[in-house]
Structure 1
């Protein structure tokens, strides 16, 4: 087996592994591998490090000196005592493994798998059904629940327990979170780990072209990922053979699914046809009485059969982005076990009355709001009041809010004590004049008060000028994630600086905002500074996008932005803290912004990354002494200077034709330049090279950026 180490700029060091002759590749030294092992386990005592060194180095050798295998093994060892005997027992499990497994690296990964509890083993192996390099999102937990892998625990809901399983696999390094996803909501499975899972589960699982299977082979399988090669998905001849497949997933989207799938696969619990171009679902889907999850995302279906109401065990029905589906059958209200209904991106304009009958719903995404007009059985959308009976909701997304009657709604959401995630979306203005629409929309949102335990809030297409008062107070003290999109009429930002648990804030499409000032941190203009000493105390990610008229950003009315605010608090002077935990700042599509506030550089002790895209009026990026990892600047035509960033280790620049001064980057290790920067950078790259040679005794790593 050959091991190939590929270094990418975005993921730092990403390992892609094919297997053959590992001894031919220079991997980690044993000493470096041992250091990675004990640091990954957070072993703090020097005596433990020395005592375990010899057995630890032997473990590193068995890991093939591969960083992935070492980290995974460290996760498995973490549950054991820090003694030689315990580690020798762990190492002793290698005896005889080479007769079964491909090599020592896979053996190390197998040991970590063998340490998992039984239910986590099932969940890990299930992830191999995703094809190579696929994104594995939190939605995989729904499939685990449907397969029966998640253990019932009194007083807890299955979704929370399944989420714990997901994060435990991440903690054990068996799933790798995508660095671009917030809160580790998207992962991938390393090639080696996926291969291990495929090897272990090969008797029960199949991934590939099902036409290559014989009926006899199909009879042994429990889970199938069918990679379609043709417009029609052809299943092998099965005659009278009993089919025990529980999960069937299609990839690459065939036009036609054979009826055999619905007639013979009678034990199915999970059926995923998402992304296929299938246009209809036959009525005899009613035969799949064990079905718990049906995913028809991105299909071309135009209707669902009424027989779907016979699926009394169905827990998850996903109909996302079905572009030609505009109505739901009346039988959908008969799905008494339904826990999740997802209509996101699907324009439903005819629904049956009675959604409140689905008492177990805890996720309802894309709820089409209506005024109740229509005949006795079908209406243009559900009235908000129908939600009153659905008390278990954890996630709720409301769309077409412009169609909601303008009446009191204050208790519709406040009573949802389990609600954690809420989306509010308007697709267009109502039928009145602009001023009337704005006024009524603002009043409506003011009354639509969410429960105080809400953790995530999305507002999309709101066309009022002012945000509701409840968004800028500590009433939402549990709020972690706030996303505002296409808030085209709002003239400012919400005063959210005092939300104690907010970690992620993104605003996009705020066309009328010209200035961001003290109101953003929660202080009104002209009012004395608030008593709080820390603003945005837990915010980690701050993103501004598509704000074409934004010119000025400040945290203080005082023009001397460089001076931190000093004021009296309980009789003592105190220093204002801003964004103490900010990790990422991204500004994209804000061409008129003239400068970044100096206080931003002074107080953000955790700042690792700044990304600036299309900030054409910005002249300088300077005085960020605490920025520790990456400055990425793209298409900033007016930028002239980058200076005083002493801890930055990587700089990427392209589309900055006027950048003539780059200095004060003493820790710089990597410099990425777009092809368009070769000429202009010649005036400052030599200085950076000389500085790096003097400080580190080696050449600066300069590479050409791919700007595709």
Structure 2
């Protein structure tokens, strides 16, 4: 059965007219005249795609990169006809057209993604490292390889050859459609193998370059391979075996990429040092307890990943000899002893899990690295500092400020220290560069935030994640001009979020003119068990505390008047509150300025009595396990409502645009109070029945 035929069996075909509409909308053609002029030849493309949505989208990506003229489209159509004659059906013809338009390096990157098993998540940070290690990424003047590799990643997404995960804000995760993956495997079938490697016994492997081993066996046994055949460049394990025979490190001497993660491999043989071509070594989630000193012989090694190695507590002194190393990743690996001299590794761009310590002037092995060892790492792009409670104050405040490539910074205090004052001083000295885009703060236990928090030096910040903060308040970040994503988690000391979060206080004349969180699109707040009050301006706190009586709306309008000029969250798209059981009310102004709000999700906000007066919320409202919720009202633009675990929800109305209602099985009895009214309203407004579905717990 051909690829195209498989697809036809799984999805309905579009009509030609619908397919043409999908084609020009996927290309963002807005001019009515242009759409009309290209319609006839566009319909030819749709027919060549067999009216299959994936093929149409892929074809649209090719057409979008060309001049929007009939002659140009005819040239492409002639290539399409040629490719179709070589391939089996319309789908492969469309995919081949898009593949053939790729630059050579992007072709290599696209085909490499097929090494992931079906439906496997492809992480941006992982796949770009693999491309670099394989030599697919072009070196450009004044640009890091990692930046170029990310451009490749987003280009493949733009061309619809990779599918981003919509749950990921910045497309940091994607998948390869199974048809695209099969297409890529067809092209590279002689070079790539995915499956149980023992099935290759007796097979000529001279053309084999990349292997993904899928095995549930306790021990991985390799087939007999002579030196002439052993030209494999990449070796992955999936569903890793408990052990791997040592011959792996002797047979594949041309390896560039070796990934043994998710296996219980406990030791690495000394002769790994013979793999002199190795550029990437990934032992994530393995049981290794040490690395041999011979690792220092891997002079070409660029990426060493040792994340989540629970029994690995030290690094060999030969680490300081890996002069080509670009990435060292030690996340959640409890490293106690490290070699002196990491500062010698001039090409480091990515260091994750850097264990901070006081360092040592004498010993070759020390208990953590001093922050000063990073001073010479001028190419750093991503940096995670852990165990910051052990850090001593630096001699300068510019240690990070001069890192012009630094895009992401993670500052983590792993345990509590009584020396709060030193912690605050160290944090004050870690001033990020102005080009920083992502900032994680984890476990900070000081009483005050550094003076640079919320200042102009953070003007490029796009992502902020705050987790397990010990402070009673949140930092003043409401005026960061480019902040798009904010997540706050596990800040147990916070009971009240107020104007200080926005960055202004009552009576501040400047604040009356500001836009709070001007570009924020996603706001996620989780696991805040003691959080009770939420306001953006001081006037709101009194109203929230007093509750809403019969005169509530009039009082709210009067009290809110002084802040009428303040704009709040004008670009917010998604708001999620999860595990905030004491929160009494949503901010009053939330429903006034959030014109882009499409997704509101409330989980275990048990003290919340009502969700109402959100006239701008336009698409999806999810409410799950909110036991105290009694009322939903005045939500005129919500088109989909999902409710589960709300035993006291007795009043629901004002959902004029509702199209779909999803109810948990536990809502059957209580929903009788209001489902009939919603049905009648929907019938009156839209002339049809409301779609009501039942949700079943997994």
Could you say which TM-score interval applies, normalised by the shorter chain? over 0.9
The equivalent residue for 1:232 is 219
The equivalent residue for 1:571 is none
Q: 1:627 to 1:21 in 2, by over 3 A?
A: closer
Does residue 699 of the first structure (1) align with residue 689 of the second (2)? yes
How far, CA to CA, are the matches of 2:10 and 2:504 in structure 1?
63
The equivalent residue for 1:179 is 166
Deviations 1:323-369 (A, max 9, x none): 01000000000000000000011000000111101011011100001
How far, CA to CA, are the matches of 1:161 and 1:215 in structure 2?
41
Does residue 281 of the first structure (1) align with residue 268 of the second (2)? yes
Q: 469, 479, 501: which is aligned to 2:451? A: 469
How far, CA to CA, are the matches of 1:204 and 1:591 in structure 2?
55
How far, CA to CA, are the matches of 1:393 and 1:264 in structure 2?
35
The equivalent residue for 2:466 is 484
Checking the alignment, whether the CA contact within 8 Å between 1:562 and 1:599 is kept in structure 2 is: no
Following TM superposition, by how much is the alpha carbon of 1:562 offset from its aligned partner in structure 2, in angstroms? 4.7
How far, CA to CA, are the matches of 2:195 and 2:86 in structure 1?
24
Alignment of 1:299-698 (within 5 A): 299-372=286-359, 376-406=363-393, 408=395, 410-430=397-417, 432=418, 437-487=419-469, 489-525=470-506, 527-530=508-511, 532-559=513-540, 562=557, 575-698=565-688
Following TM superposition, by how much is the alpha carbon of 1:529 offset from its aligned partner in structure 2, in angstroms? 4.7
The equivalent residue for 2:46 is 60
Which residues of structure 2 form unaligned runs of 5+?
A: 541-554
Following TM superposition, by how much is the alpha carbon of 1:647 offset from its aligned partner in structure 2, in angstroms? 1.5
Q: 92, 117, 120: which is aligned to 2:78? A: 92
Give 3-state SS (helix, strand or coil) of 2:632's partner. strand
Following TM superposition, by how much is the alpha carbon of 1:285 offset from its aligned partner in structure 2, in angstroms? 0.9
Following TM superposition, by how much is the alpha carbon of 1:448 offset from its aligned partner in structure 2, in angstroms? 2.2
Q: 229, 234, 238: which is aligned to 1:247? A: 234
Following TM superposition, by how much is the alpha carbon of 1:18 offset from its aligned partner in structure 2, in angstroms? 8.4
How far, CA to CA, are the matches of 1:249 and 1:476 in structure 2?
40
Q: 1:517 to 1:529 in 2, by over 3 A?
A: farther
Following TM superposition, by how much is the alpha carbon of 1:96 offset from its aligned partner in structure 2, in angstroms? 5.2
The equivalent residue for 1:10 is none
Checking the alignment, whether the CA contact within 8 Å between 1:351 and 1:381 is kept in structure 2 is: yes
Deviates more, 1:77-86 or 1:341-350: 77-86
Checking the alignment, whether the CA contact within 8 Å between 1:503 and 1:539 is kept in structure 2 is: yes
How far, CA to CA, are the matches of 1:583 and 1:144 in structure 2?
33
Deviations 1:482-529 (A, max 9, x none): 111111x21111111111011111111111211111111101355445
Checking the alignment, whether the CA contact within 8 Å between 1:492 and 1:516 is kept in structure 2 is: yes
Q: 1:185 to 1:657 in 2, by over 3 A?
A: same
How far, CA to CA, are the matches of 1:526 and 1:47 in structure 2?
55
Q: 116, 128, 146: which is aligned to 2:114? A: 128
Following TM superposition, by how much is the alpha carbon of 1:679 offset from its aligned partner in structure 2, in angstroms? 0.9
Checking the alignment, whether the CA contact within 8 Å between 1:146 and 1:269 is kept in structure 2 is: yes
Does residue 162 of the first structure (1) align with residue 149 of the second (2)? yes
Checking the alignment, whether the CA contact within 8 Å between 2:473 and 2:496 is kept in structure 1 is: yes
Give 3-state SS (helix, strand or coil) of 1:308's partner. helix
The equivalent residue for 1:9 is none
Checking the alignment, whether the CA contact within 8 Å between 1:561 and 1:597 is kept in structure 2 is: no
Give 3-state SS (helix, strand or coil) of 2:439's partner. strand
Following TM superposition, by how much is the alpha carbon of 1:135 offset from its aligned partner in structure 2, in angstroms? 0.7
How far, CA to CA, are the matches of 1:673 and 1:486 in structure 2?
34
Give 3-state SS (helix, strand or coil) of 1:338's partner. coil
How far, CA to CA, are the matches of 2:272 and 2:10 in structure 1?
54
Does residue 34 of the first structure (1) align with residue 20 of the second (2)? yes
The equivalent residue for 1:8 is none
The equivalent residue for 2:187 is 200
Deviations 1:533-571 (A, max 9, x none): 211111111111111111111122224655696779xxx
C-alpha RMSD over aligned residues: 2.0
The equivalent residue for 1:44 is 30
Does residue 114 of the first structure (1) align with residue 96 of the second (2)? no
Give 3-state SS (helix, strand or coil) of 2:523's partner. strand
Give 3-state SS (helix, strand or coil) of 2:452's partner. helix
The equivalent residue for 2:546 is none
Following TM superposition, by how much is the alpha carbon of 1:462 offset from its aligned partner in structure 2, in angstroms? 1.0
Q: 1:25 to 1:469 in 2, by over 3 A?
A: closer
The equivalent residue for 1:11 is none
How far, CA to CA, are the matches of 2:72 and 2:410 in structure 1?
50
Deviations 1:146-205 (A, max 9, x none): 111111111211111110000001111111111111210000111111111111111111
Give 3-state SS (helix, strand or coil) of 2:680's partner. helix
Deviations 1:293-349 (A, max 9, x none): 111100100000100000100000000000010000000000000000000110000
Checking the alignment, whether the CA contact within 8 Å between 2:497 and 2:535 is kept in structure 1 is: yes
Give 3-state SS (helix, strand or coil) of 2:205's partner. helix
Q: 1:341 to 1:304 in 2, by over 3 A?
A: same
Deviates more, 1:235-244 or 1:618-627: 235-244
Deviates more, 1:524-533 or 1:315-324: 524-533
Deviates more, 1:234-243 or 1:655-664: 234-243
Checking the alignment, whether the CA contact within 8 Å between 1:554 and 1:561 is kept in structure 2 is: no
Checking the alignment, whether the CA contact within 8 Å between 1:216 and 1:238 is kept in structure 2 is: no
Q: May I ask how many residue pairs the two structures share in their alignment?
A: 683
Deviations 1:62-83 (A, max 9, x none): 2222222211111111112222
The equivalent residue for 2:544 is none
Deviates more, 1:506-515 or 1:83-92: 83-92
Following TM superposition, by how much is the alpha carbon of 1:652 offset from its aligned partner in structure 2, in angstroms? 0.7
TM-score (norm. length: structure 1): 0.93
Which residues of structure 1 form unaligned runs of 5+?
A: 3-16, 569-573
The equivalent residue for 1:13 is none
Deviations 1:221-264 (A, max 9, x none): 11111112311112111134331111111111112222222112
Following TM superposition, by how much is the alpha carbon of 1:21 offset from its aligned partner in structure 2, in angstroms? 8.0
Checking the alignment, whether the CA contact within 8 Å between 1:252 and 1:276 is kept in structure 2 is: yes
TM-score (norm. length: structure 2): 0.94
Q: 1:24 to 1:210 in 2, by over 3 A?
A: closer
